[in-house]
Amino acid sequence: MSPTEFVIRRSVWLRGEGPMNSMLLRPSDGKQCCVGIYLSACGVPNEALEHTPNAGVIKSQPLVPAWLLSATANWLYRKNDDIHLHDSDREAGIQYLFAEAGVKVTFVD
């Protein structure tokens, strides 16, 4: 079962760099987008997340909640990667979208 709440540490959160620079886990610095952080909380191993642009291409599909393969996930990627959003707006949008899926997000650091 997928977690219904998780924490995003801003120090490891990869955000606002545009879709070309974003991934679930960027091995060069260990940063993760919001979906990558959530998938880590779901138990998806780092090896499956590295260099991966989205949840739809992960090989260990059983660990990926079905809603992350939907339009909601596409909006999460857009909010996460948007280079024009202020972080407070980005966080509010991400919290809203995860809440739509029944998941509570807390931002720390």
CA distance 73 to 81: 12
What is the pLDDT at residue 4? Answer: 95
pLDDT tens-place string over residues 55-75? 998 866 688 999 998 899 999
Does position 2 have pLDDT exceeding 90, yes or no? no
What is the total count of domains within the chain?
Answer: 1
Coil, strand, or helix at residue 13? strand
Instruction: Select the more confidently predicted residue: 60 or 24.
Output: 24
Instruction: Print the domain residue range for 67.
Output: 5-107
Q: Are 45 and 79 in contact (CB under 8 A)?
A: no
pTM over 0.85: yes
Identify the band that residue 8 occupies on the pLDDT scale cut at 50, 70 and 90: very high
Please enumerate in sequence order all residues whose Cβ is within 8 A of that of 69, keeping only pairs 6 or more positions apart, or say none. Answer: 55, 56
pLDDT digits (tens, 9 = 90+) for 25-38: 999 999 999 999 99
Handedness of CA 12, 79, 77, 99 (dihedral sign): positive
pLDDT at 17 over 70: yes
